[in-house]
Structure 1
């Protein structure tokens, strides 16, 4: 058992093509770390949804604590004290500002950059995203500087929205102004990345063996696990057992939900492909991200529930029509009702992730207590394609640096980038400004 470079607070179990990072275990922590009573790190994640929301069923009327849970926000009921609703925030650079049509592409590209994208068929140029600013400062402490996830594969070439590159519609994370961070949509590949070794050839062979013989990654670290368990106290044994149980459950669902295709690694077949049901897909990605945070494999992540302008239908909630099509509602009550159903369903998916974090103990609280999770869209109302008064949720306590559970209403045209500056401060990253920010965001 050893710890890779940069992972000082965690232990790693190793086997053939396998590296399983573990949650914090006091029984095997260095004495110096125990004496210092280490404070759990703060994690940062951003969830993006397209096409805006139905504002009538989204925005609470009451401000402050115990805000009224509107129909779209009702799934947050059991976690209301952990989630704040922020209204009044604006992304001015999502507006045309002389560039004409292309609101959806701009909405995604500006979401974490605060920068107007260049509308040019020959090049891609937008600002660096705030998650990658955080990853640059914090990534050296974890195995992965950041994770980029999504439910739509998307494209990074060609035009997708009125002359804008598809890269703008498909990505919210940008390593540089011209380089998006490609998101992973296949939960199986995310799992392999989190629990595979750094040796690609060994990792590929071991992965094929696991799938062919229906083995768990835990079977490949059995010897290390047996040695570790002898050193653990009762509390840590229970914690380890719960963690391993969650991994086995994820593996079971990956095998059950995936489609079987052949792989060229020794002719072994392996489960591959995303789940057929959208909710299953989003839940698996959420579970994997929760594990990545739990094991301190990364502290920064993004997740696009759908690409900008997505016309996905939602038959499971009674919406066979496309989302983008419905967002041009023209105040039609039937379309608005179906938009509300989509908004509520998206919030249910987000709540699932928050629930996962809230059930994982860490330090004196939970993983959710030591996180900052932003959910929102770069468009407010899909019919108007406007970029002011964006729908934004902020969950978690940021290690005690944020007071959640409130509806905070900010002055019209308050830059969304002010929120990013404030979040970076709580992540230990000092920024004078970011994008079109005018300062930090008060009252968090």
Structure 2
């Protein structure tokens, strides 16, 4: 049974982690300045694998243009946007031991497993540090069955800020809405926001006062938990300070939030909140976990009764169930593109400075060795990436090389992301970015 001190520590850690914030105070959040390049990135991770046959146009065996080919049925909603699409086949993730899922290793490029903490930071977090700073540098949202999202509204399986430092993803849209837009809301949402704010303020003050009575050695450790509450309370204050701006982007709350018929109602409004966090400038790094990096997941709203692990044991090519799921994903990607395209930025739109990375935390399939890890890119990240094409690689470079390429495009050269020399010699035939992808 937890005593009072243990309860404080657990709550503070969960509060800071659930917002994707470090517990240490030196990293302050700020709105981007006019001199910053307005780049942003979205990672969309689908569980159960991404079979290459569901994304590579029929007959394409070699690298080439997508202009005169038809996209496969599972990703057909992307047909109008294939000039912005780059399909990549032939990366590997053998060293991550994905099997049911690589978990943190999918975005970290290292060995991952169920219940195993991250051994290093993940690429989404690293990019959030490099890109122009925002009020909330990194937002993670997770989609699952309605039961799982209700009983575990936050879960950490995909993103991390360092070794043993997972970043939690939000799965209850009511909680996330309250966090992002509670300060500009009315009625019950506003009252809940204020009540939660008062509780967090009181806990921060109480924790700080009680911490002074601890031995010197404990004060430093305890101070990290106090700083966790400061970060959460500070984020709330910063969001409240730009309430007028945020009110232009806040999604409309409807019955899907409080009375969802299917889990896809929550999936849809979670995506709305993720999109609004990008278009409003709250964040520039968004990670979406469909299936939340695990072996579960449900899509009853699409007319699919099967759910969870069983979906991973189905062949994806030509399977009507997986066609529905992948098309649903593709329509979500289109919603992101259309929202960002609608907002002018610089000489173009927000989408011109954005990159969407779509793949799976499971490489190509359930129970995989990770020998092939297909990826789709949408957008060119301010002209950094080639688009409208298919690239077939030789299977000798790991997903880490893709992440090194993303860092290169963001302005930070990287030879081997999260790989020491020994691992690189064994699992990577080259070094640095994948030149085949760069414009």
TM-score with structure 1 setting the length: 0.67
Pair 434,108 (structure 1): closer, same or farther in 2 beyond 3 Å: same
C-alpha distance 325-69 of structure 1, shift in aligned 2 (>3 A): same
Q: Deviations over 1:236-264 (max 9, x none)?
A: xxxx8xx85653xx1333xx22227xxxx
SS in 1 for 2:270: helix
Displacement of 1:332: 9.7
Match of 1:73 in 2: 75
- Name the structure 1 match of 2:256: 257
Q: Which has the higher helix share?
A: 2
Correspondences of 1:85-164 after superposition (within 5 Å): 85-95=87-97, 103-105=99-101, 107-117=102-112, 124-138=117-131, 141-152=133-144
1:423 to 390, 406, 409: 406
* Alignment-derived partner of residue 56 in structure 1: 53
Equivalence for 1:195 = 181
- How big is each residue's C-alpha offset from its partner over 1:257-309, in whole Å with a ceiling of 9 and x where there is no partner? 2227xxxxxxxxxxxxxx44333323322222222222322222211011334
User: Contact (CA 8 Å) 1:93, 1:115: kept in 2 or not?
Assistant: yes
1:76 Cα deviation after fit:
0.4
Contact 1:54 1:343 survives alignment (8 Å):
no
CA separation of 1:337 and 1:7: change in aligned 2, threshold 3 A? closer
The whole-number CA distance in structure 1 between the counterparts of 2:41 and 2:378 is 10
SS at match of 1:409: strand
Q: Equivalents in 2 of 1:327, 1:126: separation in Å?
A: 26
2:230 maps to: none
- What is the aligned counterpart of 2:40 among 38, 43, 47? 43
Alignment correspondent of 2:313: 328
1:206 & 1:385 partners in 2: Cα distance? 45
1:16-48 alpha-carbon deviations (Å, 9 max, x no partner): xxxxxxxxxxxxxxxxx5xxxx56510012111
Superposed, 1:402-413 pairs within 5 Å as: 402-413=385-396
Distance 1:382 1:276 in 2: 30
What is the total number of aligned residue pairs between the two structures? 343
Partners of 1:283 and 1:353 within 8 A in 2: no
Q: Does 1:182 align with 2:168?
A: yes
The answer on 1:285 being equivalent to 2:237 is no
Q: What is the 5 A alignment of 1:337-416? A: 337-382=320-365, 384-416=367-399
Separation of aligned partners in 1, 2:264 and 2:192: 29
Q: CA deviation at 1:114?
A: 0.4
- Distance in 2 between residues matched to 1:280 and 1:224, nearest whole Å: 26
The normalised TM-score by structure 2 is 0.68
8 A Cα contact 1:53 1:339, kept in partner: no
Aligned-CA RMSD value: 3.6
**2:156 aligned with 1:173:** no
Q: CA deviation at 1:383?
A: 5.1
Cα gap change, 1:251 to 1:337, in 2 (>3 Å): closer
1:384: Cα distance to partner?
A: 5.0
Structure 2 counterpart of 1:84, from 65, 75, 86: 86
